[in-house]
Structure 1
Amino acid sequence: MFAFPRLIRRILTALVPPALVVGLLLSGSLAPAAAQAQPAAPAQAEAADFKARLGQWQDALNKAANRVAVGDLVNTEYEALRAGLTTVQHDAREAGAAAGAQRETAQRMLDALGPPPAQGAPAEEAGVAAERKRLTQTIAELEGRGKQADLIVTRVDILLRTAADQRMTQLTEQLVKRGPVPLLPSVWAALPEQVAYMQERVARAFTIVLDEGEWRERFLGLGVLAAFLFFIAWPVRRALLRRYGHRDMPGDGGERPGYRQRVVAMAVEAIARCLMPVVPTVALSGSLVGLLRDVYDAGPLTTLILGVSGGLTAFFLVTGVARATLAPDHPAWQLADLDPASARRLVRRIALAAVGLALAGTGIGLSEGLFTPPEMRAVVGFGTMALIALSLLSLLPHRLWIAAAEPAAETDCGCPPDAPDVTLPAPESPAEPAKPRVVWLRLRLLIGAVALLSLAASAAGYLTLAVYASKLMLTTIIIGGVLLVARGVLRELLCVVLERDSGQMAEVRDMVVVTDRGRRLVGHAGRAAIDLGLLAVAAFFVLPLTGMTVTEMKGVADGFLGGVTVGGVRIVPGDIMSAFLVLGVVIAVTRFVQRQLDERVLRRVAIDEGVRNSIRTGVGYLGTTMAVLMSVGSLGLDLSSLAMIASALSVGIGFGLQNVVSNFISGLIMLVERPVKVGDWVVVNGLEGTVRRISVRATEIQTFQRASVIIPNSEFISKAVVNWTLKDKTTRIEIKVRVTYDSDVRLVDALLLKIALGHNLVLRNPEPVVMFRDFGPSGLEFELRAFVANTDHILPVRNELRMRIIEQFRDQGIQMPFDQRVVHMPKVEAMLETLLADRVSAGPLLEVVSDAGNVVPLTEKEPKAVS
């Protein structure tokens, strides 16, 4: 969090247009020869300057090493020491980086001269030899500077770690150092004298301040300021709570307000109940401390003011956040999903506990700031620990943390879900009532354990350790509650931005993301960023309580972003973050350019959809390639160093990734040659459908059954593909017709032509034709051939023509024969012949009833074919 400027510089460096760099290089190459032949004086001056700075760095490191060796560093000395060493380290790193850049430039110039002549070869020209010698010396000198700078950086790292370890050791020794045991009679025997001494100090401070008329006037002015702030803050607070806070909503029928309304009300309640009283308190206490800063022997009064203001601030924050989230007077506005009765009891208990915690915090601040004697400090500390333990333990009973029966359902962005379309039946009431569910059980147990252990530690004489643990725990609880409120507000603001339909914010959002999927991704990324930012804020407030100073936190952040070396490989998270940011920014810009190009340029030109897809895809490939190259450049990687890796990968590509490379090359060919375009009607490998998308590896085809088929691009290049719409969407329709042999063929021909010409989608040029194809086994076979202008009309035109043919043929009495089949059954035929022969020889002729109902004599002896 402290190294963002450096990270921004990295990102801007990665985003510098390559053309600008090329222009600068060309301008340098085209500079006059006189400007290139610089005298040696600047180089000598630079060497002298580095030598002087090196001496200063070494002196500073020697002094710092001597001070660290002495030990017993106080906070101010430690801060000053770290600040000075960090400055030296920064200067040394910059000097080393500059020397490395100059060395790289000199090495490139030396490489341009080529290798020196081999032994026995003719000597090179004197000027070239002198330049080679000068460049060699320069490279050696610059290498020496870089190594000296690296040595300074390493020494600073060692000193910083040594000082940090020493200070941590001091802190540990202070925490485990045992003081007077507050329960011993000897400690209580020394209290009267020490209490009298402290009363005398505080009374003297009040006397010094109040005896002067000037201070009376100042206090009077501060009182007027306090009254003014009170009379401003109180009406504003009441107005905010009445208008936007928890309130009774008329006409709502007792329904619970929406999630967004509850979040807004929670934010308003938190601001009105926390900031409104806290800001005047902090302002007045800060003014008083500033006025008393230069007053002699007014330290006790200053400590008292700070302790009281700190206690009041903690009270307002705790009670304000509790009432904002739990809404005891208006349960419908609650966000914590606690049972209303439990919420009301918990708010009352939190108020009492906040009073106890405020008094305990004031007592701790006074005992530390007034430099009280050890015995008195032990007794007061034990009393404050007992008060803290009682206050916290009063908040732990289960009956205060019973969850609501029906917690509110919420979506990812914090908005209430849509109402279900189907009303589900109410669940049957269970035979036994469900046990109430309690929340935050583990956290409450942890808080109670820390409070009891702190009390036990103070009773045993380890007051410093008890105060340390209590401060850390209470500060974490207060900051965690405030940041949870801020988290809900920030997430809801993000949700509002993503859901807004109009306005400037919606226009800016639509420039970046348009689809619902993109908005969901932005929502997830935004929520993660909010959580990370709030964690950073929490760390900024909590880590100083652990003994870590601001400079240490800055050093940790710089060290993390600056990188660590693992196994000879340096990992730089700052560069990695900048690379990902550059990649995301360039890809987002590419998508924006694609969208604007497609919507505002290509559509107005009215070019083919396939050409638009090719242009859009090409711009996407170009932008993605630039994003990858820029992100790799921001990592500081030399692309030439990847040549060996690429050559090694080529072997693997040749054996294991043949299909992937083949599909990739085929995709590029398809985008350039365009044998298949988006929107074409194609048939490949027996699959027929419309091309929907052409990507790098495969092409998506949507069949007429609405199924998506992914076909590798190599299939379109290496195999036969039927493209109905490659050059022209005009296509021919063939309709086969069969009529009986006794039909008038001239009439059939005329009817088919008339039907085709009567359809408005059938083209007149080329005109429809009727072909008498063949004498079929069941009838005469004709074929109607007609052309339509668009392949989309094939199915409806074919369907309409067939229905008209049926209607016209029925009107004209033209019949369409069924398929005739002759089936021979030799065994059955032989059996029938035998039966017929026996019947004829035995008696009169057999009479058979025909289909028409007539009696027909059967006189034929031949077997009949059974159809």
Structure 2
Amino acid sequence: MSQSQTVRSFWAPVVLALTLCFSLLLGAGAGLAQDQTASPDYDNWLTFVDRVEEVFERDEAKEVTLQRLRSELIGYRDKFNSAENVNRTQVDQVAKQISALGPVPEDGESDPPEVALRRQQLSDQMASLNAPMLRANEAYVQADALVSRVDRTIRDRAARETLSRGPSPLNLLNWGAPLADVEAVVVQLWSEARANLASEEDTNTILGNTPAAIAALLLGMVLVFRPRAWALHFEPTIGRVKSKASRRLLRLLSALLQLALPWGGLVLILQAINLTGVLGITGSATLYSLGVFGLCVITGIWLVRQMFPLDDDGDSPFGFKPSRMAFARWISTILVITLSLGRGFSAMSEQVDLPELSENFLFFPLTVVSSYALFLIARIFKRNYRHVTGSSDEVSFMARVHVVLANLGMAIGLFAPVAGAVGYLALSERLIFASGFSFLLFGLVAVLQRGVDEFYDLVFPPETPNESALLPTLVGAALGLASLPFLVLLWGGRVTDLTEAWTKFKAGLVVGGVTVSPGVIFSFLLVFMAMLIATRVLQSALRNTILPKTKLDLGARTALDSGIGYIGVFLAGLIAFTTAGIDLSSLAILASALAVGIGFGLQTIVSNFVSGIILLIERPVSEGDWIEVSGQMGIVKRISVRATRIETFDRTDVIVPNADLVSGMVTNWTRGNLIGRAIVPVRVAFDSDTRQVERILNEIAEDQPLVVMNPAPQILFRGIGEHALNFEVRVILRDVNFLLNVQSDINHAIAKRFAEEGIVIPFPQRDIWLRGGEGLAQVAARDGQGAKFGPYQPLAQTAAQFDSGGDGGDGDH
């Protein structure tokens, strides 16, 4: 395949994308209805197959002939595909009738005569209905195989042409034929122009069109070369606009006008040249190639300016520094001009039927210049991202991709001219022009991604600088996927290859006996989402309208709401699988393997899930309960399918796995009712009147408004402690949620009453006996620090007296 064929297919995906969209819509509709078409003509099919086989045996057909045969094969294949389902409804009906008769009797047994007769009739009818479907399936398989064979033949020929070696362009003797072909084209142009000017009538017509041609030419040149100057002139005015959204909108409009106005100017220039009337057939081909060249140059330079802005404050989508953008812009412009020259030249060679050898030779200088420009651009990209890849902790994925592509671009920039110099001209052209247009395609994707990011930031301003959102990232990924068909075409793929891949994709992929296709996926998602939305609507209606009017408590209402949600999701999945036609029995092996995985790797998650269901059914813990589990105390806020969220009294959230609530020890302070007990310990001095203390504590307890009188408060004398007499106040509260408040109020009242009644609240006391007090005094005197021990001399003397006259023991009092 020549370079002209590669570049010619660059815009083909636009039509391809529309075709694929309509195919998806039509394919989804076709999957919902049976195609009741007439039976294909199999006699004509067999005759056509013989003709195709003969073409393959001769192996002399041109690519145009093979493409025509392929189109006819595709038509036959579509007819056979439709005929495969012609009796599908009747077959399903008869299959249900046979199933209703029961299983086939085993050996030695037989059906009743009436059932056996009916079974035989239905079996004959089933065979009759399946016969045309089986024949259509056989023909479909044969047609599909022939299509693949045609594609393989075309690809093999293209590969041989690309890898074929010809004369070297470095040998000047080999340039005779290409230059002669160019001279012939120039002579033909001059001959056509002279012939058109020889006629007096044509000359008068040309003179009459001259004013309009000059006006169109001048206006076209203004529109081609002046929009950038106009944009720079109005930039300060745009910068003074206060609204940020308005500024971005005006700059977007300015950028689009810098592309649209030169396009219009190019059309006027071409029309002005055409109005002269001096062009013949070859001149019209030249004018067409000039238009292609101009269109590519205008679009390419506009894209380069978006990738590497001229403005000092402009941001490059590749993150280039301003110091590098000027050089990158200059080199990219050279690459655009050489690629545009190649595109225009290939368009002209198609029109004038230039020999392939001459075309390859004339492309070689462009290949050399393009290779040099590509090498420099790749080196700039590599240097720009070198600092990013230097830190191992913050290496971004896109930076690595840029570095890898830059290395590949440098390698191609070095290899392509060498390959062309030794005679592999077709390979050299393919590599360098595909790489150049790929670079521009990546730039277009980056510019569009930047536009999406700016638009999203304008509509939804980020809370923090440099914050990345999910939606623009997903759009960028979608843009990257949308560019893949263009890359396939640039690197030698054909539109038919993409359409064939799309056909295979629509047919579906068989996984475990289940066919997964776009129609199946679309049907599954549509039904599942519809059922899920219906479940959520039902939950909302119950939660907000019906359940509040019942006598169920909050926990029961929450459990019922969650249970309906789980059942709804399960039914949504089951109905979606059934509607999509997915046979779940075919996934038995996969389900078994998944069960083993659950048994080992997911047992904790499954245990929490089952525990969550148990919590919702038995309701030992409900939302709003005050519980204590694993040393954590708080209010249950939400019971989900895996864990329960508890809000502690210091306002922190604790996530507790449901399995801990089912298998562990849980204290529920508010289960069933809010009544609870409060205990307040009290200590008094040894000389206190115990009965007086009991009376005072009882009065304090009975004065609390939340304390119930039945059962009455209890004042217990718990015993004589080491330093005090220990009492305990035990009361029953109407609402245990106020436990801490009641304990605090009781303590306040106790402190006040004890102070009024003269009852002492003791504190621990301890007498310490020290041995060796004389030694301490001697050490202090020796070091000259005796003055510091002056206040402690009585203690030293007491210790000395104890040591001299006592029993040498120590103890506590």
Pairwise TM-score range, normalised by the shorter structure? 0.7 to 0.9
Contact between 1:749 and 1:770, CA under 8 Å: does it hold in 2? Answer: no
Q: Distance in 2 between matches of 1:184 and 1:651?
A: 71
Say whether 1:727 aligns with 2:714: no
2:480 matched to 1:534? yes
Q: Map residues 65-80 of structure 1 onto 2, 5 A cutoff.
A: 65-74=53-62, 76-80=64-68
Q: Return the match for 2:353 from 366, 371, 389.
A: 371
- The residue aligned with 1:362 is 344
- Alignment of structure 1 residues 555-566 onto 2, 5 Å: 555-564=500-509
Q: Is the 8 A contact 2:216 2:268 kept in 1?
A: no
5 Å-filtered alignment, 1:309-388, equals 309-331=291-313, 333-373=315-355, 376-377=358-359, 379-388=361-370
Distance 2:527 2:461 in 1: 26
Give the match's secondary structure for 1:679.
coil
Could you report, residue by residue, the CA deviation over 1:106-152 in whole angstroms, capped at 9, with x for unpaired residues?
Answer: 222101012467788787364x5553222101222333333322212
Residue 582 of structure 1: CA displacement?
5.5
Q: Which moved more, 1:487-496 or 1:303-312?
A: 487-496
1:772 aligns with 2:723: no
CA distance in 2 between counterparts of 1:312 and 1:188 reads: 28
Q: Is the 8 A contact 1:3 1:558 kept in 2?
A: no
The alignment's TM-score, normalised by the length of structure 2, stands at 0.73
Q: Report what 2:627 is aligned to.
A: 682
Q: Distance in 1 between matches of 2:535 and 2:64?
A: 52
Distance (Å, rounded) in 2 between the aligned partners of 1:625 and 1:55: 51
Q: 1:145 is matched with which residue? A: 132
CA-CA distance at 1:591 after TM superposition: 9.4
Match in the other structure for 1:487: 449
The correspondence for 2:262, drawn from 260, 273, 277, is: 277
Say if 1:579 and 1:660 are closer, same or farther in 2 by CA, change over 3 A.
farther
Match of 1:843 in 2: none
Read off the aligned partner of 1:103 and give its amino acid letter: V
User: Residues of 2 paired with 1:864 and 1:308: CA distance?
Assistant: 116
Task: Give CA-to-partner distance per residue, 1:502-530, whole Å, 9 cap, x none.
Answer: xxxxxxxxxxxxxx9xxx99x54762453
Cα distance in 2 for residues equivalent to 1:345 and 1:775: 92
Determine the C-alpha separation between the residues in 2 that align with 1:725 and 1:393.
76
- Label 1:334 to 1:500 Cα distance change in 2 as closer, same or farther (>3 A): closer
Task: State the 1:159 CA deviation.
Answer: 0.7
Aligned residue identity for 1:533: L
Say if 1:306 and 1:446 are closer, same or farther in 2 by CA, change over 3 A.
Answer: farther
Kindly tell me: are residues 823 and 460 of structure 1, through their superposed partners in 2, closer, same or farther at Cα, counting changes over 3 Å?
closer
User: Deviations 1:185-221 (Å, cap 9, x if unpaired)?
Assistant: 5444556754442123223555677838778888987
Instruction: Tell me which amino acid in the other structure corresponds to 1:639.
Output: L
Mapped to 1, the partners of 2:25 and 2:182 lie a distance apart of 57
Once the two structures are TM-superposed, the CA of residue 682 in structure 1 deviates from its matched residue by 1.9
Instruction: Give the whole-Å Cα distance in 1 for the aligned partners of 2:409 and 2:283.
Output: 33
Report the secondary structure of 1:776's partner residue: strand
Alignment of 1:155 with 2:142, yes or no, is: yes
After superposition, the Cα gap between the structure-2 partners of 1:178 and 1:439, relative to the gap in structure 1 and judged at 3 Å, is closer
Name 2:738's counterpart in structure 1: 793
8 Å CA contact retained: 2:698, 2:714: no
- What is the match of residue 73 of structure 2? 85
Deviation of 1:156 (Å): 1.6
SS where residue 678 of structure 1 aligns? coil
- Cα separation, 2, equivalents of 1:246 and 1:587: 56
Answer whether contact 2:642 2:658 (CA < 8 A) is retained: yes
- Give, in angstroms, the shift of residue 229 of structure 1: 7.7
Q: Alpha-carbon deviations, 1:707-756, whole Å to 9, x = none? A: 76665545545676432222233433232334457656676566546645
Amino acid across the alignment from 2:559: S
Q: Over aligned residue pairs, what C-alpha RMSD do you find? A: 5.6
Range with bigger deviation, 737-746 or 101-110: 737-746
Question: For 1:549, which of 484, 490, 494 is the aligned residue?
Answer: 494
Pairwise CA distance, 1:812? 2.5
| CA-to-aligned-CA distance 1:410-436 (integer Å, 9 cap, x gap) | xx9x9xxxxxxxxxxxxxxxxxxxxxx
Which residue of structure 2 aligns with residue 691 of structure 1?
636
Change (3 A) 1:596 1:261: farther
TM-score by length of 1: 0.69
The verdict on how the C-alpha distance between 1:177 and 1:262 changes in structure 2, with shifts beyond 3 A counting, is farther
CA distance in 2, matches of 1:181, 1:88: 46
Rounded to whole Å, the distance in 2 between the matches of 1:189 and 1:649 is: 72
Cα displacement string for residues 135-189 of structure 1 (whole angstroms, at most 9, x for unaligned residues): 1012223333333222122112211111111111221232244455445454445
Q: State the identity as a percent.
A: 23
* 1:132-531 aligned within 5 A: 132-184=119-171, 186-190=173-177, 194-206=181-193, 211=202, 270-278=255-263, 281=266, 298-331=280-313, 333-373=315-355, 376-377=358-359, 379-389=361-371, 391-392=373-374, 443=405, 446-494=408-456, 523-524=469-470, 527-531=473-477
Which among 102, 107, 131 is matched to residue 118 of structure 2? Answer: 131
- The aligned residue for residue 737 of structure 1 is 682
* Contact 2:419–2:427 (8 Å) recurs in 1: yes
Separation in structure 1 between the aligned mates of residue 595 and residue 212 of structure 2, nearest angstrom: 81
Inter-CA distance 767–655: structure 2 relative to 1 (3 Å threshold): same
Question: Residue 434 of structure 2 aligns to which amino acid in structure 1?
Answer: L
The range that moved more, 623-632 or 312-321, is: 623-632
Contact residue 713 and residue 732 of structure 2 kept, 8 A: no
For 1:795 and 1:571, how far apart are their aligned partners in 2? 64
Change beyond 3 A, Cα 1:404–1:542: closer
Q: Partners in 1 of 2:588 and 2:223 — Cα distance?
A: 70
Gaps of 5+ in 1: 22-44, 415-436, 502-515, 825-848, 854-860
Q: Is the 8 A contact 1:263 1:488 kept in 2?
A: no
The 3 A distance-change label for structure 1 pair 166 and 650 is: closer
Specify the code of the residue in structure 1 equivalent to 2:473.
R
Is the contact between residue 636 and residue 645 of structure 2 (CA under 8 Å) also seen in structure 1?
A: yes
Deviations 1:614-671 (A, max 9, x none): 3443344234324533564476431345568768988998999887766544432321
In structure 1, distance between residues paired with 2:401 and 2:509: 41
| Matches of 1:132 and 1:288, distance apart in 2 | 82
* Alignment gaps of 5+ in structure 2: 1-16, 770-793, 799-805
Aligned CA distance change for structure 1 residues 10 and 270 (closer, same or farther; 3 Å): same
For 2:582, which of 629, 633, 637 is the aligned residue?
637
DSSP 3-state at the match of 1:815:
coil
Paired AA for residue 312 in structure 1: G
- CA contact under 8 A between 2:539 and 2:565: conserved in structure 1? no
In structure 2, what residue type is equivalent to 1:482? L
Q: Distance in 1 between matches of 2:767 and 2:21?
A: 92
Distance 1:393 1:66 in 2: 48
SS in 1 for 2:720: coil
Answer whether contact 1:10 1:578 (CA < 8 A) is retained.
no
CA pair 458-765 structure 1, distance change in 2 beyond 3 A: same
The amino acid that maps onto 2:714 is M
Q: In the alignment, is the contact (CA less than 8 A) between 2:698 and 2:713 conserved in 1?
A: yes
Question: Counterpart in 1 of 2:785?
Answer: none
Q: How does 1:643-722 map to 2 (within 5 A)?
A: 664-684=609-629, 688-701=633-646, 713=658, 716-717=661-662, 721-722=666-667
Say which SS state the counterpart of residue 110 (structure 1) adopts. helix
CA distance in 2, matches of 1:733, 1:483: 70
